[in-house]
Chains A and B, each alone.
Chain A
């Protein structure tokens, strides 16, 4: 017989239910840094999959296992300190418990911080769900001389407790056993023992009476919990009453009365009084069951490390050093792998080009599909490696310190200490940069950080800007390049400040942040994080990038110049014939070899001329010419405009497209676009009278800032969930880039620049 006060509405009570078909659902909850993930991993093994909670981008991890012929679904709830309605994580957790009504909640508690962890545990109890407490990190608690009598604690709070060590999987089986016993009713739990004292309880009683006037409502929510939430003036609870309670006005009026009564009686807000009572109760319980061995000679390693790592002066140096190391390692290891993947796709292209007949299908496969898939996978090693480094830092507990070190500086610009890392990573690649903004808990901070991170000079903009700088600024190219790099940071910070003062203004979000004890990360933990993040990138962003790549291909490919094509084919065949004939007759004399070379050159020129015409004639080419007047003020001609349109696919494409428009062929045919390969383009641009230091400077700034590549826009959509964000990002960067480029081009006319 179940002894609990938990009243789960069993709507289908009348129907006979077959136990085996019903899944048992266990939710894992707990404070951040309580070791929830390691318990989740120990419980579910390999059977995890990651999704999102409906409507928000909070990750939802689910694992399914089987025990005693029962299918058990284990849901990982976000880590929270409380169940208020302030953060997405807390709302998600609360909604999940209220709507989905899991069979059991396992609350993971950090034994070294029992009081604060029990604060959350008791709120779950108030929600009326069957609950088990896992006293996790028992080993660490014992080391620091904390001994908890879990049976006594269970009796006092009305919840069964199990001692666990998540990282070693200890106690996990017992948790599962208890969960099953609770589910089948053989073990009582959640008998609320917490008493808020006669004054508060009398107000709670009053509110429950009036809440019960709506029968449907009182069936839906635990009444004691609802009454407390009303005393706490909880927005979410008030909304629920407004929307769903028959006598909402009367209830809210009564709640108002109760709150002011408490204020008069205690001299403090009722929300504070409620929390104080809860803490007081927990404190009393802990005094009875926790024995602290003050003689144990424990060394506070965390404090010893913090003395160095958070040292007022060394702190910043250490932080920048660590960031540089991770960044450097990622790109030195990742770039060759990316290069390898790139080569693989080039090889695949060649294979298809050779085995399929010329035509639209072949071009589509080679340019759109392989180009798109390759574009996704080329980022993969970088994303993977970067997240390996970041997950390692996160799991050691250093991430919070990094935020501590950088917070003041970032806060000047309306950002959060944690905003620095996504921005820093974006100087390598904005795709993982935007993804790493997940460490920002507050949605405003996160949106703001994501909206400015793509302004950084990334790995794909680098070769384009470096090429332009070296072509037009000679010995000053280095300074010019780094100034542009630096401009990325300055612009991002200023724009962040502007957004904060305008659209995203409002009450500052609390910084209040726990600095968790340092821990040695487990390989398993780090790899799980890394895999989840990288794989969702490929799956979610990948589909969009592929689609966008097809669209861009379409614009660059159609309409086809049929007339010119026939003429081109004819001359091509003629030339090829000539070369072939000459080669057959050849007796290797110098004259004849030169003749062959001449024909070959003609053929190349013919090819270049043809791709040039094709591009000019395409929709993108027409668009480029059509928009030329708009970019006249920046000093760009239509050829540049086409390259910029193509650069939306990926910034490095700007070089190859310019190669085509300037009739020197595809500058990066089967090679990575880098400075040496684009030397012919460089010379071509230098000799082109249209170019000078003025418009090249404007162009570099424009490329730095204008619309992020589609891969970035895809992850922005994925991370923030709504299309309005990538659209806004694309819009404002385009306007900003145009404005800055125009200013630079117009003003620089008054100064002698160039080198």
Chain B
């Protein structure tokens, strides 16, 4: 399951990062590492990008990026 599949309003926990190159670096620098938790807040009009509550801040990622973040849904 990837971050792209999480419904908005639901929480997630990161299992693995499949992204490569610059995107991977960016995500890791922002704290997208194994075990980190967050919540999907909403999506934009054309379903893309999505907004996350992640640790103490809000961040938006495109669906193409979210698809490269493997997560599990948590409560």
Known interface pairs A279-B33, A306-B51; A116-B56 also in contact (CB < 8 Å): yes
Of A124-132, A197-205, A401-409, the one touching chain B: A401-409
Chain B hits for A303, CB < 8 A: 41, 53
Give the docked Cα–Cα distance between A112 and B30 (Å).
15
A712 CB within 8 Å of chain B: no
Chain B hits for A86, CB < 8 A: 22, 25-26
The minimal Cβ–Cβ distance linking B42 to chain A, given in whole angstroms, is 6
A509 CB within 8 Å of chain B: yes
Grouping DSSP codes into helix (H, G, I), strand (E, B) and loop, the B interface class, with mixed when no group exceeds half, is mixed
Chain A hits for B74, CB < 8 A: none
Chain A hits for B23, CB < 8 A: 508, 510, 512
* Residue in chain B with minimal CB distance to A515: B58
Contact status B59-A512, CB under 8 Å: yes
Contact status A408-B31, CB under 8 Å: no
Contact status B22-A82, CB under 8 Å: no
* Residue in chain A with minimal CB distance to B33: A276
| Chain B: number of interface residues, binned into ranges | 35 or more
The minimal Cβ–Cβ distance linking B40 to chain A, given in whole angstroms, is 13
Known interface pairs A315-B45, A511-B65; A275-B22 also in contact (CB < 8 Å): no
Give the docked Cα–Cα distance between A303 and B51 (Å).
11
Contact status A407-B58, CB under 8 Å: no
Q: A residues 486-525 with Cβ under 8 Å of B?
A: 507-517
Total interface residues on A, using CB and 8 Å? Answer: 42
Contact with B along A290-304 (1 / 0, CB 8 A): 000000000000110
Contact status B51-A310, CB under 8 Å: yes
A271 CB within 8 Å of chain B: yes
Contact status A407-B44, CB under 8 Å: yes
A571 CB within 8 Å of chain B: no
A730 CB within 8 Å of chain B: no
* Residue in chain A with minimal CB distance to B36: A279
B1 CB within 8 Å of chain A: no
Contact status B22-A507, CB under 8 Å: yes
The minimal Cβ–Cβ distance linking B6 to chain A, given in whole angstroms, is 16
Contact status A407-B48, CB under 8 Å: yes
* Residue in chain A with minimal CB distance to B62: A511
Chain B hits for A516, CB < 8 A: 57-58
Give the docked Cα–Cα distance between A306 and B52 (Å).
12
Q: B residues 16-37 with Cβ under 8 Å of A?
A: 17, 21-31, 33-34
Chain A hits for B45, CB < 8 A: 312-313, 315-316, 405, 408
| 26 pairs of residues in contact across A and B, judged by CB atoms under 8 Å | A81-B26, A82-B25, A84-B29, A86-B22, A112-B57, A275-B28, A275-B33, A303-B41, A310-B42, A312-B43, A312-B45, A400-B60, A407-B48, A407-B49, A417-B49, A507-B21, A509-B22, A510-B22, A510-B23, A512-B26, A512-B60, A512-B65, A513-B60, A514-B58, A515-B51, A517-B58
Pairs of residues from A and B, 3 with the lowest C-beta to C-beta distance, nearest first? A82-B29, A408-B46, A515-B58
Known contacts A114-B56, A508-B64; 17 additional CB pairs below 8 A are A112-B57, A113-B55, A271-B24, A272-B33, A279-B33, A312-B45, A315-B45, A405-B44, A408-B45, A411-B48, A508-B23, A509-B22, A511-B61, A514-B57, A515-B51, A517-B57, A517-B58
